[in-house]
Amino acid sequence: MNPEKLKIAVLGGTGNIGEGMVLRLALQNLMAGGVKNEVIIGSRSPETAEEAAKEALRELENCGFDTSGTTITGNSNLEAAKAADIIILTIRFTHVEPLLKEIREALEGKIVVTPVVPMVKEGPLFEYRPPAEGSAAQAIKERVPESTKVVAAFHNIAAGKLKDIVQCKAVHDSVVCSDDEEAKKVVFELVRHMGCLKPLDGGPLKHANTIESLTPLLINLAKLNGMKDLGINFS
C-alpha cells in the first residue's frame, strides 16, 4: 500500500457524515504535500453516488479550491469497496451486517475503518446500545475476513464541522483503536491531515466501546444545553 496514493472508499458517502468525510479526504490532496488520494463514494445506488461525487467537487470549487488534482468518483458499495485500499463505513449500525455480507469478497487484506456507533433514541435523548461483542468495532471484526484490518476512528466529530471546510479551524481529538499497528499508523495519517482532527492512540480494538459511547453523550449535551457541533479535546 502506497501511503502517498491511496484509494479510499467512503461507504454511505451520501449521508451527512459521509459527505463531510469525502470533502476532508479530498482536501488532503491540497494540504498534505504530495499525497494524492482517490476518494470513491459508495452507495446502494451508483447513480446517487456519482451525483454526490460531482456535488463534492462543486463544493470544493465553490470554496475556492483548485480540484484539478483531486479525484472523487461514485459507484455501488461493492464496486467502491473492490477498488479501494481503505474502506470507511459511514453508515448506521443497523445497516452494518447486511453491507458487510454484500461486500465481504472485497475486504480481503484491506483496512476497514469504523466510526459506527450503535445507539438508539430513547425519548428526546440518545443511548449507547452496544452489541453482544461489546462494540460496533468488535462486531465488525467478527464479520469480516481474518485478513481484514479493522480500525476504529472518527467517532466524536460532528458532521457540521467535517463539512465546514472553510470556517472550521478547531482541532478536536480523534481516538484511534486497532489490533493492527500498521493499519493504525495509516489511519493516524488520514486523521492528521483532516484539517480539524488530531489522532490519539486508544490502544487495541477492545477499547473502542468507550470511544463509541461518547458520541451519544455529545449529542445529548448539545441538545440539553443549546449547543451545536460538539467535539472532544483531551487536554
pLDDT 10s digits, 18-31: 999 999 888 776 66
Grid coordinates belonging to 224: 440539553
Please state which of the ranges 129-133, 144-148, 157-161, 166-170 shows the lowest mean pLDDT: 166-170
Q: Is 149 left (phi over 0), alpha (psi -120 to 50) or beta?
A: beta
Q: Is 123 left (phi over 0), alpha (psi -120 to 50) or beta?
A: left
Give the pLDDT score at 94: 95
Q: Which residues contact 43 (CB under 8 A, 6 or more apart)?
A: 11, 12, 13, 14, 49, 52, 74, 76, 77
Give the pLDDT score at 5: 77
Give the pLDDT score at 26: 86
Confidence of residue 229 (pLDDT cuts 50, 70, 90): confident
Mean pLDDT of 127-140: 97
Please state which of the ranges 35-49, 66-80, 157-171, 183-197 shows the lowest mean pLDDT: 157-171
Average model confidence (pLDDT) for the chain?
91
Q: What gap in Å lies between CA 164 and CA 232, rounded to an integer?
A: 17
Q: What gap in Å lies between CA 128 and CA 122, rounded to an integer?
A: 10
Terminal C-alpha separation, the chain: 34
Identify the CATH number of the domain defined by range 7-225: 3.40.50.720
Domain ranges of the chain: 7-225
Mean pLDDT of 180-193: 93
Q: Which residues contact 97 (CB under 8 A, 6 or more apart)?
A: 139, 143
Mean pLDDT of 111-129: 96
Give the pLDDT score at 64: 84
Give the pLDDT score at 185: 95
Residues 155 and 90 sit within 8 Å (Cβ to Cβ): no
User: pTM for the whole thing?
Assistant: 0.93
pLDDT, tens digit (0-9, with 9 covering 90-100), for 92-108: 999 999 999 999 999 99
Give the pLDDT score at 2: 53
Give the pLDDT score at 31: 61
Looking at the chain, the whole-number percentage of residues with pLDDT higher than 70 is 93
More confident residue, 30 or 116: 116
Residue 40, beta-bridge partner list:
9, 73
